[in-house]
Chains A and B, each alone.
Chain A
Amino acid sequence: DGGITQSPKYLFRKEGQNVTLSCEQNLNHDAMYWYRQDPGQGLRLIYYSQIVNDFQKGDIAEGYSVSREKKESFPLTVTSAQKNPTAFYLCASRVGGDYEQYFGPGTRLTVT
């Protein structure tokens, strides 16, 4: 079955540690996105990539980094520079053009 996978579902880290969140899709989609969601809030765009080896900052990129070495994969690293990293992180992909974004199940990151 085609879809987007994010792992792990829950992640716990100590403050000051970098952590990488996985996002893989087998939908053959060109565009991929990372969003952050805080309790009771909407989704805010962190980074997005429209093609392999290219990505752009979203609205809240500070303290985060990404790579897009393969079409299927778009990992997000939450660095120690991110002041409030505890949040629900969602990855999405889109085939291109005027089509919807498909979301992965999300990773809930807790940093203490």
Chain B
Amino acid sequence: QQPVQSPQAVILREGEDAVINCSSSKALYSVHWYRQKHGEAPVFLMILLKGGEQKGHEKISASFNEKKQQSSLYLTASQLSYSGTYFCGTVTSGSARQLTFGSGTQLTVLP
């Protein structure tokens, strides 16, 4: 079952902060975050694993609440380059690492 992302869209001014949420009805093994520019391939941002381990870019901040099966991506002091669609992908099984993606959050950063 597909994770639910919120909000669906957000518009910011440069320098403002944003939070993107991802929620699943299933017990999660890990959560992955990607950003996609229009017509391009998704780019990896971060992995959050059950147990607290995180892998990703130093400038990206995220959290994973294992009890609630929720993850949040924190974008601080946003830049114009942050614009794009953010997807969370969830893994429910540790064996196949099969990702199920949410429908995305469109982020627009204005000057």
Residues of A within 8 A of B (CB): 31, 33, 35, 40-45, 48, 50, 56, 58-59, 88, 90, 94, 97-106, 108
Report Cα–Cα, A50/B2, bound state, in Å.
22
Among the interface residues B32, B49, B99, which one has the most CB atoms of the partner chain A within 10 A?
B99
Total contacting residues, chain B, CB less than 8 A: 24
User: Across the interface, which residues of B come within 8 angstroms of A33, CB to CB?
Assistant: 99
**Complex partner residue of A45 from B32, B42, B99, B104, CB under 8 angstroms:** B99
Closest Cβ neighbor of A33 among chain B residues? B99
User: Across the interface, which residues of B come within 8 angstroms of A31, CB to CB?
Assistant: 97
| B107 → chain A closest CB, angstroms | 14
Closest Cβ neighbor of A35 among chain B residues? B101
Report Cα–Cα, A33/B101, bound state, in Å.
13
Report Cα–Cα, A58/B32, bound state, in Å.
18
User: Across the interface, which residues of A come within 8 angstroms of B103, CB to CB?
Assistant: 40-42
User: Across the interface, which residues of A come within 8 angstroms of B42, CB to CB?
Assistant: 43, 90, 103
Closest Cβ neighbor of A103 among chain B residues? B41
- Flag whether B98 is at the interface (Cβ < 8 A): yes
Among the interface residues B30, B43, B44, B102, which one has the most CB atoms of the partner chain A within 10 A?
B44
Closest Cβ neighbor of B45 among chain A residues? A100
| A103 → chain B closest CB, angstroms | 4
Contact A99:B55 (CB < 8 A) given known A50-B96, A104-B41, A105-B40: yes
- Pairwise interchain contact B41-A42, C-beta atoms closer than 8 A: no
User: Across the interface, which residues of A come within 8 angstroms of B49, CB to CB?
Assistant: 98
- Flag whether B6 is at the interface (Cβ < 8 A): no
- Flag whether B87 is at the interface (Cβ < 8 A): yes
- Pairwise interchain contact A100-B32, C-beta atoms closer than 8 A: yes
- Pairwise interchain contact A100-B101, C-beta atoms closer than 8 A: no
User: Across the interface, which residues of A come within 8 angstroms of B47, CB to CB?
Assistant: 98-100
- Flag whether B100 is at the interface (Cβ < 8 A): yes
Bitwise interface map of B from 48 to 82 toward A, beta carbon under 8 Å scored 1, else 0? 01000101000000000000000000000000000
User: Across the interface, which residues of A come within 8 angstroms of B104, CB to CB?
Assistant: 40-42
User: Across the interface, which residues of A come within 8 angstroms of B41, CB to CB?
Assistant: 90, 103-106
- Pairwise interchain contact A101-B30, C-beta atoms closer than 8 A: no
